[in-house]
């Protein structure tokens, strides 16, 4: 059975209208119910989806270049650190790998509207600003290479700071609302 794009998009939008919650009554019984999502919650879900899309892009790009996504990176970092005569730096590989995969964690928790997603997001802020972790809008820098022969670095930095400020403003507002 073929599904049209229009019906697929409509079903996705309908799933964003409500979220499933478990309600515990005074009698101790649990009941599943749905409540309407606010605009802010929809925006938080969008930021979570963008985190997951960034990880999917990373994996897809590595597969396109015939590399195993995480293993290739670990291998290259270990080669580089030992070639400089600093083999003890290879232990930092695992810390940076955890940081790079942390958008997977924050994306899942933000989609589920869990407080842990906001906390992981706060930890990621400095690493996203120095580009250790890809920015939330990882594609924000792509148009620059088509608009300029040599894109101004300051414009790229300003766009990343703008996108991260925007995301974190929404996450902070949402986090304050759920506390």
Give the pLDDT confidence of 22-75 residue by residue, as tens digits: 666 666 676 666 677 888 998 999 999 999 999 999 899 989 999 988 888 878
The CA distance from 53 to 104, in Å, is 9
Please indicate, yes or no, whether residues 2 and 68 belong to a single structural domain of this protein.
no
Task: List C-alpha distances in Å: 37 to 52, 90, 172.
Answer: 20, 45, 17
Q: In this structure, are 26 and 114 located in the same domain?
A: no
Q: Tell me the residue range of the domain where 22 lies.
A: 1-37
What rounded mean pLDDT belongs to the chain? 83
Render pLDDT for 104-153 as a digit per residue (tens, 0 to 9): 999 999 999 999 999 999 999 999 988 888 888 888 888 888 888 888 88
Same domain, 53 and 9: no
Look at the chain and report how many structural domains it folds into.
Answer: 2
User: Each residue of 63-105: pLDDT tens digit?
Assistant: 999 998 888 887 887 787 777 777 677 677 777 778 888 999 9
Residues 6+ apart with CB under 8 A from 66: none
Exposed/middle/buried for residue 69 (C-beta within 10 Å: 0-12, 13-18, 19+) = middle
**115: its two tokens:** 């407080």
Structure tokens at 45: 């879900």
């Amino acid at each position: 059975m073929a599904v049209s794009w229009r019906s697929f998009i409509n079903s996705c939008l309908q799933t964003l209208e409500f979220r499933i919650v478990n309600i515990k009554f005074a009698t101790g019984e649990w009941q599943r119910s749905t409540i309407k999502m606010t605009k802010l919650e929809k925006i938080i879900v969008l930021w979570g989806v963008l985190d997951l899309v960034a990880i999917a892009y990373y994996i897809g790009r590595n597969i396109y270049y015939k590399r195993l996504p995480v293993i290739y990176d670990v291998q290259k970092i270990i080669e580089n650190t030992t070639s400089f005569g600093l083999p003890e730096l290879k232990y930092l590989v695992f810390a940076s790998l955890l940081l790079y995969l942390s958008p997977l964690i924050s994306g899942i928790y933000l989609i589920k509207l869990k407080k842990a997603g906001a906390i992981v997001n706060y930890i990621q802020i400095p690493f996203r600003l120095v580009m250790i972790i890809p920015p939330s809008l990882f594609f924000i820098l792509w148009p620059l290479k088509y608009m300029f022969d040599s894109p101004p670095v300051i414009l790229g930095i300003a766009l990343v700071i703008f996108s991260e400020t925007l995301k974190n403003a929404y996450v902070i507002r949402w986090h304050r609302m759920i506390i």
